[in-house]
Amino acid sequence: MHFLDQAKIFIRSGAGGPGAVSFRREKYVQYGGPDGGNGGKGGDIIFEAVAGLNTLIDFRYAQHFKAMRGIQGMGRDRHGAYGDDLVIQVPVGTQVLADDEERSLLLDLTEVGQRVVFLRGGDGGRGNASYKSSTNRAPRQHGPGWPGEEMYVWLRLKLLADAGLVGMPNAGKSTFINQVSNTKAKVGAYPFTTTRPQLGVVEHKSREFVLADIPGLIAGAADGVGIGDRFLGHIERCQILIHLIDATQDDPVEAWHIVCEELAEYGAGLSEKPQIVALNKGDLLDTELMADISAQLGAAGAQDVIAISGATGQGVDLVLDRVLEALPAKSGLEGAKADGIAEDGTWSPI
């Protein structure tokens, strides 16, 4: 499935149906009077966040969404039916933005099942029966029905993940996410193997969390160099970042500075999020050299530097421990047992 994280669509709610102009004409009813019914209300445009979707690819092939208009009123006091609402299903984490220069945020769908009436359908017009009064016994006016609302909007998807992987190309992010989850991310010995965000569910010490891997960052990514920084929006909602650094490159400290500068340049509070600095590819260097590079990163300002190997799994459990410490504790898991599983991971029927 192709990954698409933004799309522009046109939406329009249904117009209200017109009211009817009608008079009773039964043979034995004298002075029958008006009996035109009201028109029906137009359908609403509703956005709904559903589980099981992680891309906006469907909106590449369908960009126009129009709700049904209300049915017109008829004689014999028959009111028109309401137009059907149009429900647009989007992935959880989708934002609806205005089609302006600022891309103003109009709606943020962050929970499964969340439904929001975005555009309300127009009200139906009044039939001539509703205009009858003591001084107007045979009204011929009617309401045409109120028009619906229409607008262009942008849909932007920001994946919901608990932790995010950042780093320069070839830092080993895909290897890491494959090591800790069942994600089958592409791995290659060349830059930008990852061209779209990947999500993986990590299970560690009887707890689960979602890990997001985004394409690598290079110097100038905020200005569009490389793949740019457009995918950084997918880690805005993360509570902690895992910063992977390739220990075999010429200057790991400089690589750490470059990624931190790009996060600060992007904004949205990414540079303020807690980071776990994981010095990767420890299986290719000896222990003393890894310790020396870790000390250099610590002297440069990096905190919580952990030497790991994404290929062999060395040190990965310690990184996952740090992630769990940063995430909110699950109810019922602190100092107690949940579903028969204790904190140490052992199961008991009691």
pLDDT band at residue 180 using 50, 70 and 90 as cut-offs: confident
Structural contact between residues 256 and 300, judged by C-beta atoms closer than 8 angstroms: yes
Q: Which of 211, 247, 200 is nearest to 319 (CA)?
A: 211
- H or E stretch covering 290: helix 287-300
**Mean pLDDT score, 150-163:** 89
Per-residue pLDDT at 345: 53
Average pLDDT, the chain: 85
Greatest mean pLDDT among 52-61, 146-155, 268-277 lies in 146-155
d(CA 256, CA 222): 16
Distance between CA atoms of 350 and 346, rounded to whole angstroms? Answer: 12
Instruction: List, for residues 22-79, the tens digit of each pLDDT value.
Output: 998 888 877 788 999 999 999 999 999 998 887 888 898 899 999 999 999 999 999 9
Identify the residue with better confidence: 11 or 264: 11
Non-local CB neighbours of 59 within 8 Å, separated by 6+ positions: 4, 7, 9, 155
Find tokens 């991310």 and name the residue: 185
Architecture of domain 6-157: Distorted Sandwich (2.70)
The full set of domain ranges for the chain reads 6-157, 163-326
Q: How confident is the model at residue 81 (pLDDT cuts 50, 70, 90)?
A: very high
Binding site feature residues = 167-174, 194, 213-216, 280-283, 309-311
Average pLDDT over residues 100-116: 91
Could you check whether 6-157 and 163-326 share the same CATH topology? no
Which of these CATH numbers, 3.30.110.40, 3.40.190.10, 3.40.50.300, 2.60.40.10, describes 163-326?
Answer: 3.40.50.300
Beta bridge partners of 106: none
Binding region for GTP: 167-174, 213-216, 280-283, 309-311
196-251 pLDDT, tens per residue? 777 888 888 888 888 888 877 777 666 666 565 667 777 888 889 999 998 888 88
Out of 14-18, 51-55, 301-305, the most confident range is: 14-18
Give a three-class secondary structure readout of 235-276. Answer: HCCCCEEEEEEECCCCCHHHHHHHHHHHHHHHCCCHHHCCEE
Choose among 226, 238, 227, 220: nearest CA to 275: 238
Check if the beta carbon of residue 46 is closer than 8 Å to that of residue 151.
no
Annotated binding site for Mg(2+): 174, 194
Q: What is the pLDDT of residue 332?
A: 39
Rounded to whole angstroms, how far apart are CA atoms 249 and 113?
46
CB 114, CB 127: distance < 8 Å: no
Rg (CA), the chain: 30
Which pLDDT band holds residue 334 (cuts at 50, 70, 90)?
A: very low
